[in-house]
Amino acid sequence: MYTKVITEKMLLAGVWVEKKDTFDVFNPQNNQLIAKVPLATKEDMMFAIEKGEETFKKNRNWPAHERMGVLNKAADYVEKNKEYYSNTIASEGSKTITEARGEVKRAVETLRISAEEARRINGETINFDQREGSENRVGYHYRFPIGVVGAITPFNDPLNLVAHKIGPAIASGNAIVVKPASVTPLSALLLGEAFVNAGLPKGFLSIVPGSGSEVGETLITHPAVKLVSFTGGLETGERIACKAGLKKLSMELGSNSPVIVLEDANLRHAVDTCVAGAFSAVGQNCIGVQRIFVEEGVYNQFLTAFVDEANQLQVGDKMSEQTDMGPLINEQEAKRVESWVEEALFKGAKIHTGGRRNGAFYDPTVLTDVPETATIAKEEIFGPVVLIYPVKDLDEAIEQSNNVNYGLQAGIFTNDIEKAFYTIQHLEVGGIMINDSSDYRIDAMPFGGVKGSGLGREGVRSAIEDMTEPKVVCFNLQRYM
C-alpha cells in the first residue's frame, strides 16, 4: 500500500508535465488519499491530439521492426517492475493483490502479442483479370495506419485494457491519446512510463487524465482523431456515438452475461467455474456471470452447491493473498448494487446469501425468482450478484438468455456436442464458451458483442484492423505487353 500521497505528472506527447490543478485518487477500501493527478484542460487535450497528428505525419513509414522493438521493451519494463504495477492496480482499484498480479501478467502478454502482430499487418493480391477487359491488370491491397486514435478506458482493468488500446495502436504505426478512468488513472500513467523508457518517439503517446466533459468531449469530437476506441457503459457509448461525427468507432459496452447448465453437465465443474466467473473482481467485469439458467432436474443440487461455495469466499483486505473479494470501486457503486438488489427483493425475488453492504464492500449475493421487471434482470449489475433460474429445457434457456439488450459472451455446460452446437447457433452473443463460464477470455482473440454490447471487436489483431485501412494498388501493364 502507499505510505504517502504521490503527486503525479501526465504524459503529453511523450513529455511528463506537471499541472497546478489536480484531482484526488482514493483507495476504495479505506477512502485513503493515495495520489494527486493533473487535471487536464481542453487545451491540454488539443495539444496532445495535434502533436500526435504532427508526429504521425512525420513518421508515416515507421518500420515494423522498430515498432516491435518498442512494444517488447515496454513489456520487459512492466514485467521487471511487475510488483510495483500490481500494487498500483490493487491500491487504486477494486482488485485483490492476487487479481492485480494476474492483470499485470496479461498486460505484458497483450504488449507482446501486439509486437508479434506488427509483423503480420499484411494485404493480399487481387485478381483483376476476373473482369473482362482487365486481363493486363495486376495488383494488391495493403493496410495503412489511420493517424490518431482516441482511447477512453474504464476502471475495472486499469492496466490491461489500456494496453489493449496502446499496443495495437503502436503496432500499426498510429499515434494514440488515452483518457483513463478518473478513479484509476495511476496504472495508465505507469504504462506510459513503460513506453517512455522503451524509447517510443515523442508524440506517439499521450495519457491525459481529467473530466469527461472537459477532455473527453474534445477527444471524441476533434477531427484529427480518426477512431474512438471506448470501453465502458452503454449510455456513455450512445452519447459518444451521437457526438463523434464521421469517424470510426470501436465500443465494448458491457453485458448481462448468461450461462446455461444442462442436466448432463459436470455439476462440480460448473459450480466452481460459475462462482469464480460471478465474483472475481467483485463482479466488476463485463463478461462476469450474471444470470445462470439450470435445467430443472439438477437445479436444486446446483443452487445448493453454488450458495455453499459462495459462502466460503473471503471478503476483506485487498492486499491479503487470502482475500477473494475486495471492495467495489467506491461506496456509491456499492449503494447502487444494494438498491438494485432491494428492488428485486421488493418485487418478489428471494435471497439465498449475501445482500449485505459495509461501506464500499458488498457480500457475494445469490438471488432466485427475480422477475423480468427488476432492473437487475435486464441491466448489467457490475457487482457481486448472480441470478439463478430453473428452466425446463435448452430452448427455454436460450430464449431467456437472449431476452436482454446485451450480447457480449455466454457459457454453456454440457457433454452433448449436438446441444453445444445448437446453442452456438442460437445464442445472440459475440462469444460462447463451452464448459466454461462467460468469464473466459484470452487477449489474442476477437472480443466484442452484439446488440447493446457494442460495435466492432477488441483483441489485438481485431483492433489493428480497426486502426488501419486498406489501400488498393492496380498496375495497368497494357503498354508493356
First to last CA, the chain: 74
Angle between helices 82-92 and 64-80 (to 10 degrees): 70
Cα separation, 8 vs 188, whole angstroms: 12
Among residues 420, 415, 347, 319, the alpha carbon closest in space to that of 88 is found at: 319
Q: Which of 117, 263, 286, 331 is catalytic?
A: 286
Place of cell 476533434: 222
Determine phi and psi for 292, rounding to 5 degrees. Answer: -120, 125
Residue pair 186/37 in contact by the 8 Å Cβ criterion: yes
> In this structure, are residues 207 and 129 in contact, taking their beta carbons and an 8 Å threshold?
no
Give one DSSP letter per residue of 74-96, joined into a string.
HHHHHHHTHHHHHHHHHHHSS--
CA diameter of the chain = 82
- In contact, 403 and 429? CB cutoff 8 Å: no
As given in the structure block, the three cell numbers for residue 109 are 502478454
Distance (Å, whole) CA 62 – CA 194: 20
Instruction: Return d(Cα 450, Cα 298) in angstroms, integer.
Output: 30
C-alpha cell at 351: 435471497
- Length of the chain measured in residues: 481
3-state DSSP helix/strand/coil percent for the chain, to nearest 5?
40, 25, 35
469 included as an active-site residue: no
Using an 8 Å Cβ cutoff, are 316 and 323 in contact? yes
Q: Which helix (H) or strand (E) holds 32?
A: strand 32-38
Is 263 among the catalytic positions? no
Indicate which residue of 99, 252, 295, 333 is catalytic. Answer: 252
Strand 350-353 versus strand 289-295 pairing type: unpaired
Q: Is residue 397 within 8 Å of residue 302, measured between CB atoms? A: no
Burial 70-100 (b: 16+ CB within 10 A, else e): bbbbbbbbbbebbeebbbbbbbbbbbbbbbb
Which residue, 468, 463, 462, 442, is CA-closest to 151? 463
Residues involved in catalysis: 252, 286
